[in-house]
Amino acid sequence: MAKPIVAMVGRPNVGKSTLFNKIAGKRISIVQDTPGVTRDRIYADADWLSYNFTMIDTGGIEPDSDDLIVKQMRRQAQIAIETADVIVFIVDGKEGITPADAEVANMLRKSKKPIVLVVNKVDSLKDENNAWEFYKLGMGDPITISATQALGLGDMLDKVVGMFDKALFEQDDDEYIRIAVVGKPNVGKSSLINKLLGEERVIVSNIPGTTRDAIDSNLNNELGKFILVDTAGIRRKSKVKAEIERYSVIRTLTAIERADVSILMIDATEGITDQDEKIIGYAHEMKKAIMIVVNKWDLVEKDDNTMAKFKIDFQQSLKFLSYAEYLFISALTGQRTHKVLELAKKCYDNYSKRISTGILNEVLDKAVLMKEPPIVGLRRMKIYYATQVANRPPKFIFFINDNNTRHFSYERYLENQIRDSFDFKGTGIQIEYRERKDK
């Protein structure tokens, strides 16, 4: 089921990131050594009134000395228009309406997207009256909040989820397998999709940036029903202004969020770059099914060991993706492209897999017998039982005696035991530990 996207829009210093972090709360987890995780997080999952959604923080663009603020706001608002299901337009209640606010409002009004006007920094009753002037923006009734004090957030979220298209929550999850093809510009994403579709549906060009938006194509065959999403490539930061690049990530990010399987395409003649790690790092964080497709394999000089050597090198660069499936193709000649959907379907099946509680606990009991948990402090972790509570991605809960007895190396051992026993190749899995005191 696709989660609605909620974009937070507004000029600098109105409190977008403060509001974003306040709503996300403990859901934002910074792991510094994991590719795809940045200190300046631009997305987070959230929920309200049983609705799950993804927030995009479009804050942080500061106008350069040579650029007009209105030009920057147009860029910011345009991306929000293209990607969001609901837009939260944030203004500063203490400063009042500015020309930049009016410019963004004009653009958003034309978008015909649902918009929630939020007046931030209303920290006391005396500031309430400041909200009245924002009716001039023509965006409906403003909702007053204080992001720093968490005042008024419930009313705001009530209005946000009330604007969701309920069809998003009612669609048949089993009907289509959604595949996002991601990667840098000019690695052959559009060529691969055209080859799979058997027609020139996506523009193919050797000019980076030809694909400007995420493009959906439906495909039905003997393997099932698929939606193929061709995404705009993310350029290296050295070639673009860092803050503007932050927004170009959003299209790829939302495509990954809404996909079941993420295919990272790599140019065999270039190898893996930091940008490739960042792109697929997003999918890894979201526990998606993941494939690494190495394109332009026809341009590589080969011997009997070339493919094995390339795969080892890639796995060394993407150590956090030890579970990913690999495929070497040529989208131009069609070499092995017929295997792409076959392997994607295998990844999806593992992504959708469910394990019975009884069999799961048998495997864990054997794993503990083979290797006891280490003593942490003065105690040893005891696993009472485990159960799978969800799939897409597979999620397991382990009930243990004391969270302070957990050790990362043993947690990795248990995950590997589950992967080896049940074949979760090609998909991320999530394991949550919950403390349950002895009676």
What CATH number does residue 146 fall under?
A: 3.40.50.300
User: Distances in Å between the alpha carbon of 195 and those of 95, 278, 331, 342, 397?
Assistant: 54, 26, 7, 14, 41
Residues 339 and 204 in one domain: yes
Residues marked as binding for GTP?
A: 10-17, 57-61, 120-123, 183-190, 230-234, 295-298
pLDDT of residue 169: 66
Enclosing domain of residue 414: 357-435
Please provide the DSSP assignment of 403-439 as one string: GGG--HHHHHHHHHHHHHHHT-TTB--EEEEEE----
37 vs 347: CA distance, rounded Å: 23
Q: In the prediction, which pLDDT does 111 show?
A: 82
Same domain, 141 and 237: no
Strand pairing partners for 229?
180, 216
Residues 99 and 209 in one domain: no
Report how many domains make up the chain: 3
- Sheet of strand 395-400, all strands in order from the earlier edge strand to the far edge: 383-390, 395-400, 430-435
Last residue of a domain, one of 169, 200, 228: 169
Q: Are residues 337 and 367 in the same domain?
A: no
Q: Is 374 found in the same domain as 247?
A: no
Cα separation, 11 vs 63, in Å, equals 10
Look up the CATH number of the domain holding residue 396.
Answer: 3.30.300.20
What does the angle CA 214 – CA 215 – CA 217 come to, to the nearest 5 degrees? 145
Domain boundary among 330, 351, 372: 351
Q: Annotated binding site: which residue ranges?
A: 10-17, 57-61, 120-123, 183-190, 230-234, 295-298
How many C-beta atoms lie closer than 10 Å to residue 328's C-beta?
Answer: 22
Residue that terminates a domain, selected from 331, 351, 371: 351
Overall average pLDDT of the 100-104 stretch: 84
What is the pLDDT at residue 2? 64
Task: From 352, 285, 293, select the one nearest 33 (Cα to Cα).
Answer: 285
**Residues 293, 198 share a domain:** yes
Q: Which pTM value belongs to this model?
A: 0.68
If asked whether residues 368 and 398 sit together in one domain, one would say yes
Q: Are residues 182 and 268 in the same domain?
A: yes
One domain, residues 17 and 159: yes
The contacts of residue 362 (CB under 8 Å, 6+ apart) are none
pLDDT digits (tens, 9 = 90+) for 199-211: 655 444 444 444 4
Spatial distance between the Cα atoms of 266 and 218, rounded to a whole number of angstroms: 23
CA nearest neighbour of 214 among 224, 227, 199: 227
Whether residues 194 and 333 fall in one domain:
yes
Q: Based on the domain organization, do 367 and 347 belong to the same domain?
A: no
Residues 146-167: what's their mean pLDDT?
Answer: 90
Q: Are residues 11 and 145 in the same domain?
A: yes
Q: What is the pLDDT of residue 25?
A: 76
Q: Which of 43-52, 58-67, 196-205, 390-399 has the lowest mean pLDDT?
A: 58-67
CA distance 16 to 101: 14
**With 80 as the cut, is the pLDDT of residue 86 above it?**
yes
